[in-house]
Structure formats: C-alpha cells, structure tokens
Amino acid sequence: MPKVFYTQPDGTVVAVAASPGDSVMATAVRNGVSGVVGQCGGSLSCATCHVYVDEAHRDELGTPGEDEDEMLDCTASDREDSSRLSCQLIIGEGDVHVTVPPEQL
C-alpha cells in the first residue's frame, strides 16, 4: 500500500497509508492531516488544497491542467515551481512526498 508523506510548515512529517486512485487531497482530509482543507471536495473550485510536490515524483504526477494552472497563481501561499492542487494528484503504486504550505485560502 502506498503512503503519502505530508511535511507540515514546522517540519513535522505525517505519513498516511493511501489507496491507489485516491487523490493526495482526499487522503489528507479523510485522515485529518492539517493544512489541507479541500473544501470543494476536489471539483477545482476552491484551491484550498495547495501543496508543494517533492521533486522526485513531479514527473509521475503529471502537469497542471489549464484551470489548475491559473488557480495556482491565486493561492494564499506563494506559488512555486513545485506547486500543485493536491485534489489533482492521483496516487499510484508508489509513495508520494508533499509539503503543506503555511496558508490556504
């Protein structure tokens, strides 16, 4: 079973067992990982699930679609090259490492 590692802004790491096919956002919300809100449930409406993706698996998680790309320009914590909306990050067979930003909208 793959795991998602969420690094909090203070450096603490929360590891959560995940199911392939679930999103990084839903996995966080269902397990009460703080800092990932996901208020719209993953319908690309709120951008409250912004995360920074570890360089190691940026390629396997694809690139942002047009709406996601534009929305990333409006996140509460500044956008970086590694920024993604975690509702769009679908977990595969391998582990995923992300960092939670200090602020969500």
Partner 1 sequence: MSRDDDVLVVGAGQAGVQVACLLRDAGHRGAVTLVGEEPVPPYQRPPLSKGFLTGSLGADALALRDQDYWGARDIGLVLGEAVTEVVRGGHGSGRARTDRGRTVAFDRLVLATGATPRRLDVPGGDADGVLTLRTLADAGRLRDRLRAARDVVVVGGGFIGLEVAATAAALGARVVVLEAGSRILGRVVSEATAQHLAAHHHANGVEIRTRARIVEVVTDGGDARAVLTTDGAVRADLVLVGIGAAPRTGLAASLGLRTDGGVVVDEHALASDGTTLAVGDCTVLADPTPWGDGETSVRLESVDHAVEHAATAVRTILGESTPHTAVPWFWSDQGSAKLQIVGLRRPGDVATLRPSGSGRHVVGFHRRGRLVAAEVVGSPAEFMALRTLLGARHPVPVEVFADPEVALRQLAKQARSATVTAR
Q: Where are the alpha helices (DSSP H) in the chain?
A: 24-30, 66-72
Q: Which stretch binds partner 1 (CB under 8 A): 6-14, 54-62, 68-76, 92-100?
A: 68-76
Q: Which stretch binds partner 1 (CB under 8 A): 5-13, 54-62, 67-75, 91-99?
A: 67-75
Would you count residue 51 as binding partner 1 (CB under 8 A)? no
Alpha-carbon distance of 34 to 70, in angstroms, equals 24
Q: Which of 72, 62, 73, 71 is nearest to 96 (CA)?
A: 62
Tokens of 15: 């590891």
Residues that bind partner 1 (CB under 8 A): 22, 26, 29-32, 34, 39-41, 43-47, 67, 70-71, 73-74, 76, 105
